[in-house]
Amino acid sequence: MRRTFLFIMYCLLLPLMACAQTDNAVPDTAAFHQDATCPEVLIETNMGNIRVALYNDTPLHRDNFLKWVRMGYYDGCIFQRVIKNFMIQGGNPGTRKVTPGKVERFDTAYTVPAEIRYPKYYHKRGQLCAAREGDDVNPQKASAPCDFYITWGRNFSARQMEYLVQKMKGEDKVYAIPNEQVQAGYVKYGGVPHLDGGYTVFGEVLEGLDVVEKIQNVETDKSNNDRPLQDVVIIKATEVKK
């Protein structure tokens, strides 16, 4: 369901993506991450490493993500759903590799209450966010226990951003209309505005945005929920000791 819901939001943005700039400039990753006490996690993949910071003012999601990291849950997970110019999604228990000879049991039958801190955190490129079930069965916007996604999106000129805002004002299914500050952020960084206000953003990429770019460019099976044709594997996820 959450796959379908994210895809619907992606389709709403698709016409604007087609006319967006093609320059995928890497944004300044220090834009939000100003708290040196934020925990950091290194996600090692078979396509390179991604280092992320977890926001302290989304403590439920921060602690939940760290719990999975410390348990070794993400080791062997894949990025099971990838959409070019949108996002990469991983951590689903149904696609997790099982360690041979080891009994592994994880409780994934719960949700994490939403911690949406918009407009402080919005879906600029390189944001770590929580996937969830759709609004029809999840009006509280509670997050899935272990599925996460990292945004990529598209770049916007000021004119394209202005057009997007006007279009969003005329739509029924919009969580938040970007204010001037958020609009400027999207012009500078790129991202996925249609998800703002609907999903919890709980961290950001500090290093390895080039790896995110490579992953979002892989070939996928469109008939199989946009699963990469070749597995993009999370070899290991570990907390960075400071």
Instruction: pLDDT band for 27, please (50, 70, 90 cuts).
Output: very low
Q: Tell me the percentage of the chain whose pLDDT exceeds 70.
A: 86
Instruction: Look at residue 8 in the predicted model and tell me its pLDDT.
Output: 47
Mean pLDDT of 169-192: 95
Residue ranges and CATH numbers for the domains of the chain are 40-240 (2.40.100.10)
Which region among 17-21, 37-41, 168-172 has the lowest average model confidence (pLDDT)?
17-21
Residues 6+ apart with CB under 8 A from 146: 68, 73, 74, 91, 92, 93, 106, 108
- Does the pLDDT value for residue 215 go beyond 70? yes
CA-to-CA distance for 13 and 7, rounded, in angstroms?
10
Parallel, antiparallel or unpaired: strands 143-151 and 127-132: antiparallel
Give phi and psi for 61, each to the nearest 5: -75, -40
pLDDT of 102 reads 80
Mean pLDDT over residues 14-29, rounded?
40
Confidence (pLDDT) at 98: 78
pLDDT range class, residue 217, cuts 50, 70, 90: very high
Banded pLDDT at 30 (limits 50, 70, 90): very low
- pLDDT at res. 222: 92
Distances (CA, A) of 236 to 75, 77, 196, 198: 4, 9, 29, 29
Residue 217: partners with Cβ closer than 8 Å, 6 or more residues away: 84
DSSP-assigned states of every residue in 178-238: --HHHHHHHHHH-B-GGGTTTS-EEEEEEE-HHHHHHHHTS-EEGGGTTEESS--BEEEEE
Instruction: List, for residues 38-49, the tens digit of each pLDDT value.
Output: 999 999 999 999
- Residues 95-109: tens digit of each pLDDT: 888 777 887 889 999
Q: Which residue has the higher pLDDT, 24 or 98?
A: 98
The pLDDT of residue 97 is 81
**Could you give the angle at which helices 158-169 and 2-19 cross, rounded to 10 degrees?**
130
Which residues fall within 8 angstroms of residue 224, CB to CB, at 6 or more apart? none
pLDDT number for residue 77: 95
pLDDT above 70 for 14: no
